[in-house]
Structure 1
Amino acid sequence: MFECIDRRYCFGCVGIRLKATMTMRLLDLFITSSIPVAKILLITGIGFYLALDQVNILNQDARKQLNNIVFYVFSPSLVASSLSETITYESMVKMWFMPLNVLLTFIIGSFLGWIVIKITKPPSHLRGIIVGCCAAGNLGNMPLIIIPAICNEKGSPFGDPESCEKYGLGYIALSMAIGAIYIWTYVYNLMRMLANPGGETAINSTSSTMPLISPKVEVGEQVGTWSKVKQRVSSVAEKINLRTIFAPSTIAALIALAVGLNPLLRKLLVGNTAPLRVIEDSVSLLGDGAIPVLTLIVGGNLLNGLRGSGMNKSVIMGVVVVRYLLLPILGVFIVRGAHYLGLVTSEPLYQFVLLLQYVVPPAMNLGTITQLFGSGESECSVILFWSYVLASVSLTVWPTFFMWLVA
Structure 2
Amino acid sequence: MPEQSTPASPLDVPEGDPFGPHNLPYGVFSTADAPERRRVGVRIGGHVLDAGAAALALGSPYAQLLAQPSLNPLLAAGRTAWRDVRRALTAWLTSPAHREDIEPLLHPLGAVTLHLPYEVADYVDFYASEHHATNVGRIFRPDGDALTPNWKHLPIGYHGRSGTVVVSGTDVVRPSGQRKAPTDPAPVFGPSVKLDIEAEVGFVVGTPSELGRPVALADFRDHVFGLSLLNDWSARDIQAWEYVPLGPFLGKSFTTSVSAWVTPLEALEAARVAPPVRDLPLLPYLDDADDEDPGGFDLRISVAINGQVVAEPPFAGMYWTAAQQLAHMTVNGASLRTGDLYGSGTVSGPETGQRGSLLELTWNGRDPIELAEGKRTFLEDGDEVTLTAWAPGPDGTRVGLGEVTGRIVAAG
Q: TM-score range by the shorter chain?
A: under 0.3
Structure with higher strand content = 2
The structure number with the bigger radius of gyration is 1
Give me the TM-score of the superposition, normalised by structure 1. 0.24
Structure with higher helix content = 1
